[in-house]
């Protein structure tokens, strides 16, 4: 009888162990393309889209230790091709995934050129406490030091980590975790390209554990309520700008304008006159800056200074970059907000 008991106990332990192995959390991996999905084409002798999400996953067998991975090959395009229709499609895919109770988090692979824009879009449009982790690669899959596999493994570990809940959309590359709200690409080739300026990383991924040091506080959700997004253009201010590009954008049908201004949100007289031209036609204008750190303010009182544009009816973007200010303005307009008071309140909340 004792021998039978030992056998039964061993069998139960084996079955329990197998059950626990099957209880790995589920993570959905949505592949969209980018350098992380490229290889060197022997004819073009340049990186081109070549591998699927399944192919990338196969390079990281270690992920099975942390989660069961579902692959959704949504697209395979350079991130330079990302646009509002693709963002809407991606938001739907991510939202569908996080609504499933068995899914612990979602990973999105993406090109680095517009990675920060897509991350911010998802942070605004997907409402969930589950981690959404974006990854990319600075080196293509033909490179001997391809950084895609490590970034994918780190993203899986973040997606199943309890600490990652409630932190919104994050970007995980080079063992560093950045918040979608603050992150930007700072180098064309370096693997440590993504930085968060004055605000710093959310955390880091180490071989033994994931460490978070802070969390993003200034976040908001804007539901997608339209099938197409209103056209919003970015117009750069530079020495000698004459405002003609801004006027042209208005005449060509832009529903909103973001000015990439100078300093705290300043511009010359011709650009200021163009801003007033847009405002007179009831086209909202948001003032951002080309400066990496700091915020725009209604500060300088000369013609074209931040105070004069704010007094004329323009909205101050705070410290949102022009590309992220465009996304926020686009989503606000599609939700029916177009007055200065409502727009400024939304930008101030960021």
Q: Is 338 annotated as a binding residue?
A: no
Determine the 3-state secondary structure of 95 from DSSP. helix
Compute the CA torsion angle 88, 89, 94, 99 (nearest 10 deg): 90
Backbone angles phi, psi at 245, to 5 degrees: -65, -35
Catalytic residue (one of 26, 32, 96, 112) = 112
Q: Is 112 annotated as a binding residue?
A: yes
Is 35 annotated in the active site? yes
Q: Find all residues with CB under 8 Å of 282, minimum gap 6, and list them.
A: 338
Chain CA centroid to CA 106, Å: 13
Catalytic residue (one of 14, 26, 32, 35) = 35
Is 169 annotated in the active site? no
Backbone angles phi, psi at 114, to 5 degrees: -120, 20
Q: What is the β-pairing status of strands 169-173 and 176-179? A: antiparallel
Task: Name residue, tokens 């990281």.
Answer: 60
Alpha carbons 141 and 58: distance in angstroms, whole number: 12
Backbone angles phi, psi at 248, to 5 degrees: -65, -40
Cβ pair 150, 36 in contact under 8 A: no
How many degrees, rounded to 5, is the angle at CA 209 between CA 204 and CA 212?
Answer: 40
Give the pair of three-digit tokens for residue 111.
Answer: 């090109």
CA distances from 22 to 19, 70, 155, 223 (A): 5, 14, 21, 35
Q: Is 95 annotated as a binding residue?
A: no
Positions at the binding site: 79, 112-113
Positions at the binding site for substrate: 79, 112-113
* Residue numbers annotated as active site: 35, 112
């Amino acid at each position: 009888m004792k021998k039978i008991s030992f056998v039964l106990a061993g069998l139960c332990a084996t079955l329990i162990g197998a059950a626990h192995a099957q209880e790995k959390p589920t993570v959905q991996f949505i592949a969209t393309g980018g350098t992380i999905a490229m290889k060197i084409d022997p004819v073009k002798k340049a990186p081109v889209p070549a591998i699927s999400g399944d192919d990338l996953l196969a390079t990281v067998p270690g992920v099975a230790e942390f989660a069961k991975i579902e692959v959704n090959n949504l697209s395979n395009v350079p991130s330079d091709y990302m646009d509002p229709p693709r963002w809407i499609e991606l938001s739907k895919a991510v939202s569908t995934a996080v609504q499933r109770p068995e899914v612990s988090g979602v990973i999105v692979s993406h090109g680095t050129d517009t990675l920060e824009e897509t991350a911010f879009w998802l942070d605004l449009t997907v409402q969930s406490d589950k981690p959404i982790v974006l990854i990319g690669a600075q080196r293509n899959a033909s490179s001997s030091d391809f950084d895609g596999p490590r970034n994918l493994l780190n993203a899986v570990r973040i997606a199943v980590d309890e600490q990652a809940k409630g932190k919104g959309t994050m970007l995980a590359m080079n063992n560093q975790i950045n918040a979608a709200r603050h992150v930007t690409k700072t180098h064309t080739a370096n693997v440590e390209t993504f930085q968060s300026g004055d605000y710093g990383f959310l955390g880091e991924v180490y071989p033994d554990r994931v460490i978070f040091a802070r969390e993003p506080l200034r976040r908001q959700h804007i539901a997608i309520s339209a099938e197409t997004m209103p056209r919003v253009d970015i117009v750069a201010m530079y020495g000698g700008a004459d405002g003609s590009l801004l006027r042209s954008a208005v005449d060509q049908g832009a529903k909103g304008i973001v000015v990439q201004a100078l300093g705290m949100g300043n511009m010359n007289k011709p650009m200021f006159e163009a801003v007033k031209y847009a405002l007179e036609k009831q086209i909202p204008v948001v003032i951002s800056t080309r400066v990496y750190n700091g915020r725009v303010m209604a500060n300088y009182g000369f013609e074209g200074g931040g105070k004069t544009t704010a007094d004329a009816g323009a909205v101050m973007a705070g410290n949102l970059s022009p590309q992220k200010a465009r996304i926020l303005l686009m989503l606000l307009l599609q939700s029916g907000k177009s007055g200065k008071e409502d727009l400024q309140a939304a930008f101030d909340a960021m």
